[in-house]
Amino acid sequence: RTVKATSGRQIFQPLHTLRNAEKELLPGFHQFEWQPALKNVSTAWDVGIIDGLSGWTASVDDVPADTISRRFRYDVALVSALKDLEEDIMDGLRERGLDDSMCTSGFTVVVKESCDGMGDVSEKHGSGPAVPEKAVRFSFTIMSISIRLEGEDDGITIFQEQKPNSELSCRPLCLMFVDESDHETLTAILGPVVAERKAMMESRLIISVGGLLRSFRFFFRGTGYDEKMVREMEGLEASGSTYICTLCDSTRAEASHNMVLHSITRSHEENLERYEIWRTNPFSESADELRDRVKGVSAKPFMETQPTLDALHCDIGNATEFYKIFQDEIGEVYLKNNPSREERRRWRSTLDKQLRKKMKLKPVMRMNGNYARRLMTREAVEAVCELVPSEERREALQKLMDLYLQMKPVWRSTCPARDCPDQLCQYSYNSQQFADLLSTMLKYRYDGKITNYLHKTLAHVPEIVERDGSIGAWASEGNESGNKLFRRFRKMNARQSKTFELEDVLKHHWLYTSKYLQ
């Protein structure tokens, strides 16, 4: 209520009413221990908001370093999130007919991690040029909690996050004013987070839930990253590289000729091994041979991410591509060779006008999720077809969009086997047809090249769904929505002071994600 009034108007009340309640909702209130104790992590449990640059202050020069980052200690934050779910855990045990006094160990918690850079969070202070400031946010979502009983093989799920992509379930762990491309500062701040996470994977957490001590182990899955961030974390070359994919070793040219048949081969371990080869060049090869041997790994992988596809950015990437296809089809590029800039600009404004008239879609500077959702529809393609002269090209465009709309639910849905079983079964067939259309009708665009996300959409979706059960549930969307909250809290609910603003935002944002308050 302190953030959104039911009337839809925004009201901002100071959180006095929360002053006492909030202490037990914020990390650092509940006692816990790890067995064995976490390596290189303090055993103190009453740790609240800490400086994200713990100990590095002297070596960061551009900014007064104690103001650029605030975070919770990862294990303390997880404890707070679990205690927040205490009622859900107890209800889950009861619903499964389990005697809660018997269930004290064997709990497994699966955590989704997301990290995303935000452009332009500039300070609005007085006149003068706007200074571009950038921020990076690292968050986690508790996706499920299950328990394995003695002597049983399968776990029983007692809590499943119903809205894994809502900003209400996505808990902020670390906020920093850093450009996501500034690898040094990013790694300096996330280094301790990675170390804490690594330590937690080798240990069990003991906390009191429902009045009894119970032991939990954690699995972390870094899936909420867009491709830029994955490449940064995993030491791969940037998105324009000939090594087009973060899941397989295919080059752009190979991927454009064989669009569908690839399997996932990359992993964090392999990237680390390849980095060693890149660093040492054991076979004394030339630069090109070496690069081909390590398939584009050219920096040290820093954080483990799951080889998957981010549904939100996949949507955005593919919509960007369709937007360009629409322009090309309006200008009948398949008949011409390299049209001039002027012509292209004209087609683009024609397309924008038409979309605005028929779909009420305002042109955007950068493609975003909402625009992408509205552009990838039958209505949009029909509006575009009114401007395409040739009948058979119109049919092909409609066919292309139909196939895409058959494929999309499979990687958008939280549980495709339940929500769209038919489309799941037909996925490989549809993607093959889609690929055939691209390589015949749109030969002029996909001869020897293809976009990164189209490759993933066509080649890797069935394998990921088979492995994880879903792609949509593991998307970065919750964290992206959290970016809006970050902006809002920073404007409205934070002290105007470099030293305190991030901790106010972090505190507010954490409380906003509390299930108990919701």
**pLDDT of 314-361, one tens digit each?**
999 999 999 999 999 999 999 988 899 999 999 999 999 999 999 999
Per-residue model confidence as pLDDT tens digits over 477-496: 999 999 999 999 998 888 88
H-run or E-run covering 168: none
Cα-to-chain-centroid distance, residue 358: 32
Co-location of 499 and 460 in the same domain: no
Lowest mean pLDDT among 94-103, 266-275, 498-507: 498-507
7 — pLDDT class (breaks 50, 70, 90): low
Give a yes or no: residue 84 inside a domain. Answer: yes
Co-location of 122 and 65 in the same domain: yes
Give a yes or no: residue 297 inside a domain. Answer: no
Per-residue model confidence as pLDDT tens digits over 376-400: 999 999 999 999 999 999 999 999 9
Q: Distance between CA 197 and CA 465 in Å, rounded?
A: 26
Angle CA 199–227–308, to nearest 5: 65
Domain count, the chain: 2
Co-location of 114 and 58 in the same domain: yes
**Residue 26 Cα distances to 20, 84, 101, 189, 512, angstroms:** 11, 10, 27, 21, 11
Mean pLDDT of the 277-290 span: 96
Residue 68 in this model has a pLDDT that exceeds 90: no
Its sign, for the CA torsion 271, 273, 276, 278, is negative
Residue 113 and residue 140 in contact, taking contact as beta carbons nearer than 8 Å: yes
Co-location of 500 and 404 in the same domain: no
Residue 6 in this model has a pLDDT that exceeds 70: no
23 — pLDDT class (breaks 50, 70, 90): confident
**pLDDT attached to residue 151:** 82
Mean pLDDT of the 217-242 span: 96
Co-location of 418 and 503 in the same domain: no
Give a yes or no: residue 102 inside a domain. Answer: yes
**pLDDT attached to residue 9:** 52
Co-location of 492 and 407 in the same domain: no
Co-location of 418 and 345 in the same domain: yes
Find which of 18-32, 62-76, 278-292 is predicted with most confidence, using mean pLDDT.
Answer: 278-292
How many other C-beta atoms lie within 10 A of the C-beta of residue 291?
18
Give a yes or no: residue 301 inside a domain. Answer: no
**Which range marks the domain in which residue 68 is found?**
1-232+478-517
Give a yes or no: residue 30 inside a domain. Answer: yes
Per-residue model confidence as pLDDT tens digits over 167-223: 999 999 999 999 999 999 899 999 999 999 999 999 999 999 999 999 999 999 999
Co-location of 164 and 118 in the same domain: yes
**pLDDT attached to residue 150:** 84
The rounded mean pLDDT for the chain is 91
Co-location of 415 and 483 in the same domain: no
H-run or E-run covering 144: strand 135-147
**pLDDT attached to residue 18:** 61
Co-location of 182 and 40 in the same domain: yes
Mean pLDDT of the 105-129 span: 81
Kindly report the three-state secondary structure assignment for every residue of 215-281.
Answer: EEEEEEEEEECCHHHHHHHCCECCCCCCECCCCCCCEHHHHHHCCCCCCCCCCHHHHHHHHHHHHHC
Co-location of 412 and 488 in the same domain: no
Lowest mean pLDDT among 43-57, 162-176, 408-422, 482-496: 43-57
**pLDDT attached to residue 11:** 47
Residue 12 in this model has a pLDDT that exceeds 60: no
Residue 163 and residue 505 in contact, taking contact as beta carbons nearer than 8 Å: no
Co-location of 4 and 153 in the same domain: yes
